Amino acid sequence: GEDVEQSLFLSVREGDSSVINCTYTDSSSTYLYWYKQEPGAGLQLLTYIFSNMDMKQDQRLTVLLNKKDKHLSLRIADTQTGDSAIYFCAESMGPSNTGKLIFGQGTTLQVKP
Amino acid sequence: DAMVIQNPRYQVTQFGKPVTLSCSQTLNHNVMYWYQQKSSQAPKLLFHYYDKDFNNEADTPDNFQSRRPNTSFCFLDIRSPGLGDAAMYLCATAGAGQMSYNEQFFGPGTRLTVL
């Protein structure tokens, strides 16, 4: 079946790195995503990774994918107070499945000044 | 700016009283999705439209219906809201076939309260 799991809460100090972890079960996933949700707002796509990649870097964000262990992580370098939000990991079977997204339950990132 | 708009942002209804949530998009995307997100939970797909083709998720209750009169608009109808239907409802769009990956653009959501 399809299932995505994340730890619920992470607290870091401003300027430190944050690492948010995610595990998924469907090995046929073609794309994996990280979304950010600020209070009262919709979801914003932060970054994505194709399943044949093992790393992707985009400015302060680094995504690592271990396909063998079905483990995905998001590292935020130099974490700022504006990064405080809920971060959702999601998997998709790609356009052939109309891009249905299966989300994890979200990790609340708290950044302390 | 091209965007996904949801109205209203906050909706209060009474137990059993039908309610309609609205979503519009200026992105000219083929696909429109409705997700339900209960407090501290993951968004869960209810159904989606691929152009005019409606696709219901197997576990979406019959109480939930949707209409898409044109490319720009999609509505979520809850025929007889129960207390368990209180949630944030998120609309999203995607331009199927235009990208190799499926980026979904989300609206800000409508928070539904059932009294």
How far is the C-alpha of A37 from the C-alpha of A67, rounded, in Å?
25
Q: Does A99 touch chain B (CB under 8 A)?
A: yes
Among A12-16, B49-53, B78-82, the minimum mean pLDDT is found in: B49-53
pLDDT of A6-27, one tens digit each? 999 999 999 999 999 999 987 7
Kindly state the tokens that stand for B20.
């309609």
How far is the C-alpha of A50 from the C-alpha of A53, rounded, in Å?
6
Q: State residue A28's pLDDT score.
A: 75
Q: Which residues, including other chains, have CB under 8 Å from residue B62's CB and lie 6 or more apart?
A: none
Rounded to an integer, the average pLDDT of A29-37 is 88
Q: State residue B2's pLDDT score.
A: 62
Query: Mean pLDDT over all residues of chain B?
Result: 91
| Closest CB to B31 among A40, A98, A106 | A98
User: In 3-state terms, what secondary structure has residue A82?
Assistant: helix
The whole-angstrom distance between A49's CA and the closest CA on chain B is 9
Bridge-based pairing state of the strands A71-76 and A61-66: antiparallel
Kindly state the tokens that stand for A86.
């809920």
φ, ψ of residue A27 to 5 degrees: the values are -70, -10
pLDDT of B86-110, one tens digit each? 999 999 998 865 554 567 889 999 9
How far is the C-alpha of A11 from the C-alpha of A80, rounded, in Å?
12
